Structure 1
């Protein structure tokens, strides 16, 4: 039996088994299935909606329906994937859904229209995906292509050490500009390269580095986590603004998502990062060092090993060892790494010439990103003993930067480097306690935290 095939369905006929889900209405549980219909010598992909036993397709700018067509059936759904694409591009393995009357190949695809995810057809010639809803035809240049997963040959290799370092000074926004984040990126790059890591850097204030836009950051985070094997080590460091933004779809108690902020004032939420890092397999060690406001619990919040206010009141699970640290710190240069959602909305309102509200949906729409409902909502948990988060502060606090020994740096990044260089074999729990002690001695208000499984907290930060 073929794993992937088109099966004919007529009105009143029983539904086929294992039909391929193509999308949904504004209710994510109201499913649409991938289909196609023969029309005037063409075969046009579209959607099949079981409650009405109708096939829907786009033709001549309208939504048309019929009661006979074909549905796509797959006995093994794991062989398929939806691949984001645009402007007529399709990946290797794209599923052919049909053809035009002139013989042009059409691919099975889908696109968002408001909160609906709608199956339709992709025309490489027209560089768009055609979908229908509300009796109208729409064409979108951004879409997803249904494709058969490509089996990659297994390549034997040794463990890899890979890092992504991001430092954003917001050089085009004088009001919210920072001055120590690029220095943080340089400091972390030097440390990590000395530990044998291959480092990729993103910054708006370091010549030769790629710009840290939202798309660049997420693309590089996904590359960082892709095709990882047991024994690999990955590190993601971020220095820049952090925020908390109201999200109507958030599963958090206060309906606020912790987020970091790109150079273009786009927000990257905790759910977006967790969705990628949670896919890492057992045997990989991943570390995130986030020197930004509201960075505590950015990964999960369920495995917080060290938290609380001040060193003496800290909640700690594991061995406690502390050391002192000192530096020449200039108090008058103290600056927080917090960007208020109201300021984000104001910047975008001025930039795009329309009113933007200080919530996640409005901010994304301002950037031309649709509100995909639960698409980025993370309902799972991080893989046990894989990810450790070293945060600059608790979820309700600010992180700061200042002049330290003549150079502007974030407190967390500076202390992290000082402690690791002084104690190369330091464990995660000892590292965070020493950092907290150092910053307490310097009189700072922020309280760095450690989030990971308790067993992982006793591992060495660097193998």
Structure 2
């Protein structure tokens, strides 16, 4: 790999402290991942931005701050650069706004201020990538399958349901999000977009800010360089393990599984291998969730994060 190429990362951990939606392992997940990026994948510390919601954090993981960090990362990207976004926190599902899909649900992550970032926002980021750069998203959140709108499914649903562990689900139901936003806006409507636009304006998701007839702006650009490793299927929840319950450090089950896979395998691993091995780790631990992979055919078997000794395809 050309040593002059950049490796850029945005790592977001939302524990939602002192709220009814509090989680315990999300900040640990991304702090541990930062160490993995520096030690195994050769990231420069100055190119890894951490957004966490600990009291006194210099940059809180609000919707606006997360999108600003991702925009900055994509704006800096050049051909051959490796971009990585790791999110650990709550996810949710929202009614589809696409014509002809009245019963379909779309995916979103839930920043600490509830300013949802949706599958359309991630599609727009991928479409903005310069040719030859890649963006890998690892989302340890509920309903994270399909988080890049229209990305090709490589490893998808499983019907196994054999959970034997107790955990907190990293999901906030849409109804709870509406209740929270209603307390801020005092608007009596069940339309999530109205609440988000009222509360966040231009910082709200593109899904709610663009006319529906312009939705073709976010069509995939043929075989693109977006790579999504999701913690679970779109209809599943992801697990957050509380340290008090497991007698150790709290963690997100999928983040921990990926880190175990990387620790136990020193050689190069493809995106497909990372996801399948993480599935086996979670199954052995008794979790019900099934990680999925969404990307182009070529990227399914490309090396995860293009390790330093991996060759970069010539464009």
Asked if Structure 1 and Structure 2 have the same fold, meaning a TM-score greater than 0.5 normalized by the shorter chain, the answer is yes
Which of 119, 124, 147 pairs up with 1:275? 124
Paired residue secondary structure (1:434) = helix
Match of 2:258 in 1: 416
Which of 191, 210, 213 pairs up with 2:36? 191
> Do residues 428 (structure 1) and 271 (structure 2) align?
yes
In the alignment, structure 1 segments of 5+ residues that lack a partner are: 1-156, 313-329
Match of 1:234 in 2: 83
Paired residue secondary structure (2:51) = strand
Q: Report the structure number with the largest CA radius of gyration.
A: 1
Matches within 5 A, 1:39-438: 158-172=4-18, 174-194=19-39, 195-197=41-43, 198-205=47-54, 208-249=57-98, 254-309=103-158, 331-332=165-166, 334-357=167-190, 359-369=191-201, 371-374=208-211, 377=215, 379-382=218-221, 384=223, 386-403=225-242, 406-424=248-266, 425-438=268-281
- In the TM superposition, residue 341 of structure 1 has moved relative to its aligned partner by 0.9
Give distance in 2, aligned partners of 1:455 and 1:368.
38
Give distance in 2, aligned partners of 1:232 and 1:203.
25
CA pair 368-442 structure 1, distance change in 2 beyond 3 A: closer
Q: Deviations over 1:310-368 (max 9, x none)?
A: 579xxxxxxxxxxxxxxxxx944x100111111011112223334352x3322213314
Structure number with the bigger relative contact order (C-alpha 8 A, sep ≥ 6) is 2
Give distance in 1, aligned partners of 2:74 and 2:82.
10
Give distance in 1, aligned partners of 2:194 and 2:130.
35
CA pair 302-248 structure 1, distance change in 2 beyond 3 A: closer
Matches within 5 A, 1:433-448: 433-448=276-291
- In the TM superposition, residue 384 of structure 1 has moved relative to its aligned partner by 2.3
Paired residue secondary structure (1:162) = strand
CA pair 408-252 structure 1, distance change in 2 beyond 3 A: farther
Contact 1:346 1:356 in 2 (8 A): no
- In the TM superposition, residue 247 of structure 1 has moved relative to its aligned partner by 4.3
- Of 208-217 and 380-389, more deviation after overlay is shown by 380-389
Give distance in 2, aligned partners of 1:184 and 1:250.
37
- In the TM superposition, residue 273 of structure 1 has moved relative to its aligned partner by 1.6
Give distance in 1, aligned partners of 2:271 and 2:51.
26
Q: TM-score, normalised by structure 1?
A: 0.58
- Of 179-188 and 199-208, more deviation after overlay is shown by 199-208
CA pair 405-348 structure 1, distance change in 2 beyond 3 A: same
In the alignment, structure 2 segments of 5+ residues that lack a partner are: 203-207, 308-315
> Do residues 459 (structure 1) and 302 (structure 2) align?
yes
- In the TM superposition, residue 208 of structure 1 has moved relative to its aligned partner by 4.0
Contact 1:331 1:402 in 2 (8 A): no
Quote the RMSD (CA, aligned, Å). Answer: 2.6
- In the TM superposition, residue 419 of structure 1 has moved relative to its aligned partner by 0.6
- In the TM superposition, residue 432 of structure 1 has moved relative to its aligned partner by 0.7
Moved over 6 A (4+): none
CA pair 301-164 structure 1, distance change in 2 beyond 3 A: same
Q: Deviations over 1:101-147 (max 9, x none)?
A: xxxxxxxxxxxxxxxxxxxxxxxxxxxxxxxxxxxxxxxxxxxxxxx
Give distance in 2, aligned partners of 1:331 and 1:237.
24
Q: Which has the higher helix share?
A: 2
